[in-house]
A and B are shown apart, each in its own frame.
Chain A
Amino acid sequence: ELKVEQNPLFLSMQEGKNYTIYCNYSTTSDRLYWYRQDPGKSLESLFVLLSNGAVKQEGRLMASLDTKARLSTLHITAAVHDLSATYFCAVIPNFGNEKLTFGTGTRLTIIP
């Protein structure tokens, strides 16, 4: 059974600081997705990572994928309040049940 673990689960950080959210998964995969969810809202797709070494950047967010380590990172640069949200990674395994499996999410709070 595929397990997707994110850490930290909760993160408070000051504006202007840098930080990284980690997403580890337990089986072979080269398809990983990052989503953002604001409180009471839907999930918004941020990044689609489809190969080892893939790196995507949008504004202050950068996501990368290391399929050999079964690890993806979401790096936040010079955080601003608008980035406060819950971030989910989700993985599609290469074999077996090819369904999207979500991590439990990282709730990020940016403090002014």
Chain B
Amino acid sequence: DAGITQSPRYKITETGRQVTLMCHQTWSHSYMFWYRQDLGHGLRLIYYSAAADITDKGEVPDGYVVSRSKTENFPLTLESATRSQTSVYFCASSEGEGRNSNQPQHFGDGTRLSIL
């Protein structure tokens, strides 16, 4: 079925470790996004991508790295995890972005990441 899938769904790791969260979409949407969700903050944009090999920072990019070699994949890497990065991470995709799109973003099921 078409959709957006994230893996893993749950991850526990230690401070200082590198961890990569995966995101795959089958809609061929141009735009993909990574958000983190924390109590009291709603969802905050980490990074986004307008197309393969085009990425840009969002509101809270520090400590994260992204890449997009293929349209359908948008992995998020924490190069050296810290406790403050414990959160629920959501990947999303959309056909357009900003004022060029009348469609909502579609979200994956999220990855719950705990850093000890």
Contacts and interface: CB of A to CB of B under 8 A. Distances in A.
Contact of B99 (A31, A43, A90, A102): A31
Contacts of A102: 35, 42-44
Interface stretch (A58-66, A71-79, A92-100): A92-100
A33 B59 CA distance: 19
Contact of B98 (A88, A98, A105): A98
Interface string A37-50: 00001111100101
Contacts of B61: none
B66 to A, nearest CB: 15
Nearest to A1: B59
A76 B98 CA distance: 28
Contacts of B99: 31, 92, 94, 98
B45 A99 contact: yes
B84 interface: no
Contacts of A35: 104, 107
Interface of B: 33, 35, 40-45, 48, 58-59, 90, 92, 97-99, 102-110
Closest 10 A-B residue pairs measured CB to CB? Answer: A98-B98, A45-B104, A102-B42, A43-B107, A102-B43, A104-B42, A42-B107, A42-B109, A33-B104, A48-B104
Interface of A: 4, 31, 33, 35, 41-45, 48, 50, 88, 90, 92, 94, 98-105
